[in-house]
Structure 1
Amino acid sequence: MWFIKKKLQEKLKNKTQDFQNEKAVNYFFSVKLKALK
């Protein structure tokens, strides 16, 4: 049982990681676009 729980936690962790990466990338691009204008 704990194994399944661990797997779910890792999935969730990866999701939040992806979300943070996406935010960072979006932020980076918005800054770059502002710099270009």
Structure 2
Amino acid sequence: MVKARKATIVTAADPNMAAPILDTSIVNASSGPLLSRSS
């Protein structure tokens, strides 16, 4: 759960750096909606 929160915060701050750093599973779970909004 903590990683999920970090994923959201990091992705919101810097999506390009967050994607490779975070686990794919976390990116898909937490960043999916954020990436859709960014796009």
- Relative to the length of structure 2, the TM-score reads 0.35
- The structure that is helix-richer by fraction is 1
